[in-house]
Amino acid sequence: MTQQPSTPAQNSPVTVVGLGPMGLALAAALMDKGHPTTVWNRTPEKARDLVARGARLAPSVADAVAASPLTLVCLKDYAALYEALGPVGGPSAGRALVNLNSGTPKEAHAAASWAAERGVAYLDGAIMVPPPLVGDPGSVFLYSGPREVFDAHRDTLASLGDSRYLGADPGLAVLHNAALLGLMYATMNGFLHATALVGSAGVPAAEFADLAVNRFLPTVVDATLVEQAPNLDAGHYPGDLGTMEMNLNALEHIARTCEERGVYAGQPRLMRDIAARAIADGHGGSNYLAVFEVFRKAAER
């Protein structure tokens, strides 16, 4: 769909549908940046503070999406999107819809088709920060779908944070969302497990956090991943400085230490099993990054 040229960000009205904690943060950030903001929520009482600040509470979702050239939807999932906007068919011609709930790439493709059938300009999106950081220039927001839709509303979306356009495939935003959240949970679990392990000897979490987060991770993990990322694309895993066999030995020691200290050992056992799988696949002499081949080739099995 052909989009109208974007208007100056401070003058462009925006609608926000869904006023959970994130929806409230979106609307507040837009208002802070000078956007006339219309809001709608199934429970109107949630809009009370926004209305007191000057937001307009729409009497219906149809009225809400008709009020602005851009509607941001921040609901639980794709089913909630269809439930809320299905009866009104989405925004009318010349207006755009940006969906900011989480889900799967397959669901994002279905939503893009749903929008296209109704003549709606559609972007799928993902918010990669908690509500208090919405509006910060460094907060990352991901978008995927037609480039012309993103470009038409780039200035408005920039009011929320650092807008990253990922490509025309509408599933890319939720795919990155799942990948980054998976990284977050794995990192959090790694820290929490490590803290529990040293905590078995009475080491305070605050003391260990300084060593682990401020010293160890930036030097040993972060720098290594950035430096070695091109080797993942090339499938190049030289074991000059340490092989998978050596790493399996270390993982075995971690698991045994957890068992000895009475700390949950399921997590290191899983990591040990993954390394063993990589060795079984012929990567015993490679470095630990060859585990990447186990992950990306799982579907082939």
Q: Which spans in the chain are helix H? A: 21-32, 48-53, 61-66, 78-85, 105-117, 147-152, 154-158, 172-199, 205-209, 223-234, 244-261, 266-278, 291-296
What is the rounded distance in angstroms from the CA atom of residue 155 to the CA atom of residue 13?
A: 12
Strand order in the sheet with 140-144: 56-57, 37-40, 14-17, 70-73, 96-99, 121-127, 140-144, 162-165
pLDDT, position 90:
59
Which domain does 50 fall in, by range? 9-169
Residues 202 and 196: their CA atoms lie apart, in Å, by 9
pLDDT attached to residue 95: 85
> Which CATH number goes with the domain that contains 95?
3.40.50.720
Domain boundary among 154, 169, 184: 169
Number of helices and strands in the chain (H, E): 13, 8
Q: Note whether 29 and 137 are within 8 A (CB).
A: no
DSSP annotation of 235: T
As averages over each run of 10 residues, the pLDDT of the chain (301 residues) reads 46 95 97 96 95 96 93 96 81 82 95 91 96 96 97 96 98 97 95 97 97 91 88 94 96 97 96 97 96 84 53
- Domain identity same for 156 and 201: no
Quick one: DSSP state of residue 162?
E
Give the pTM.
0.89
Would 1 be classed as within a structural domain? no
- Residues with Cβ within 8 Å of 143's Cβ and at least 6 positions away in sequence, in order, are 98, 123, 124, 125, 150, 157, 163, 164, 165, 166, 173
186 and 116 assigned to the same domain: no
Provide the 3-class DSSP secondary structure of residue 113: helix
Q: Would you state the pLDDT for residue 182?
A: 95
With a CB cutoff of 8 Å and minimum separation 6, the contacts of 34 are 9, 10, 11
Tell whether 29 and 153 lie within a shared domain: yes
- Please report the pLDDT score of residue 7 as a whole number: 45
Structure tokens, 143: 């978008």
- Residue 4, domain member (yes or no): no
- Picking from 128, 152, 169, the residue at the C-terminal end of a domain is 169
- Cα–Cα distance measured from residue 181 to residue 173, given in angstroms and rounded to the nearest whole number: 12
Same domain flag for 130 and 195:
no
Task: Report the C-alpha gap between 47 and 168 in whole angstroms.
Answer: 34
How many domains, in total, are found in the chain? 2
> Do 141 and 163 contact (CB within 8 A), yes or no?
yes
Q: Of 123, 151, 169, which residue constitutes the final position of a domain?
A: 169
Instruction: Enumerate residues 6+ apart whose C-beta is below 8 A from 11.
Output: 34
**Residue 232, domain CATH:** 1.10.1040.10
Token pair in block for residue 43: 């429970």
CB under 8 Å, gap of 24 or more: what pairs does 249-255 form? 251/275
What confidence score (pLDDT) does residue 52 get?
A: 97
CA distance 171 to 101: 12
From CA 38, how far away is CA 196, in angstroms rounded?
A: 47
